[in-house]
Amino acid sequence: MDLGLNGKVVLVTGGSKGIGLACAKAFLAEGAKVAIVSRSKVNLVAADRQLKAAGQAGEVVKVAADLIDPANARRMAAEVEQALGPIDVLVNSAGGAKRTPPDDLTPEAWRAAMDAKYFTYVHAIDAVIKGMAARKRGAIVNVIGSGGKVASPTHLPGGAANAALMLVTAGLANAYGGHGIRVNAVNPGATLTDRLKQGLEADAKAAGITTDEALKRATARVALGRLAEPDEIANVVLFLASDKSSYVSGAVMAMDGAAVPTVV
């Protein structure tokens, strides 16, 4: 199926690894012009090696920026548009709140989680959405962990940030729909990325079990009997970014393998 993404300018925050990198690869395979963003130049170099191995690195713009700072988000958008042209698609996959057991929570931990997850997304959106509105076109897809729907004792600050981002997704879809912009989100459950390891370690510590046992328990909770691969999340992100989903906006799509069977 041709998703109509050939030649589109796509910005992927958190695009140097995990789900973000999987999204970047998938957009490139569709012929899009892609920029990836990471706080870490080291991670961008590692991503460059992976993309070169896939024969794709020459087509990718790589930007180092800490999106906790709104000025960096504006600089990021300006650099990408100077290199590739107006941004058609924004995929937010940057930032991850540190998992903290309840007894270790402090006001600083709550604030750090909002900075790391919520504001990285909001700043990136603000940097591109007004330009999209002026052009009367654009798609934004937010990758928001399912912890925003189901409270986890070791992920309360991050879950709160995720819940807030789901409201942002629905609210901006409503506010900017008249400007030709669609805003959607996916809610991945446990996905086989490097970030999963930190979550499993926190869960294992809280439960007094090994990390391997925590992984087994996480897998057992998934009705499909396995954890997601990053590519599987990326496939849905591409659909939501494409014109094939032209009447989908304000949606928050569960991708947890029916681990939490809910009606939304």
Q: What is the pLDDT of residues 78-100, one digit of tens each?
A: 999 999 999 999 999 997 888 88
pLDDT of residue 57: 62
Token couple for 113? 């989680």
For 21-71, write each residue's pLDDT tens digit.
999 999 999 999 999 999 999 999 999 888 888 777 667 999 999 999 999
For 109-129, write each residue's pLDDT tens digit.
999 999 999 999 999 999 999
**pLDDT over threshold 70, residue 162:** yes
pLDDT of residue 210: 85
**pLDDT over threshold 90, residue 193:** no
Instruction: For domain 9-193+227-255, give the CATH superfamily.
Output: NAD(P)-binding Rossmann-like Domain (3.40.50.720)
pTM of this structure:
0.92
> Cβ(113)–Cβ(157) under 8 Å?
yes
Judged by average pLDDT, the poorest of 97-101, 135-139, 187-191 is 97-101
> Cβ(185)–Cβ(251) under 8 Å?
yes
Percentage of the chain beyond pLDDT 90 is 72
pLDDT of residue 58: 65
Distances from the Cα of 206 to the Cα of 1, 101, 112, 192, 259, angstroms:
45, 7, 21, 21, 20
pLDDT grade for 264, boundaries at 50, 70 and 90: low
Q: Where are the domains of the chain?
A: 9-193+227-255
pLDDT of residue 192: 81
Q: What is the mean pLDDT of residues 129-143?
A: 98
> Cβ(79)–Cβ(130) under 8 Å?
no
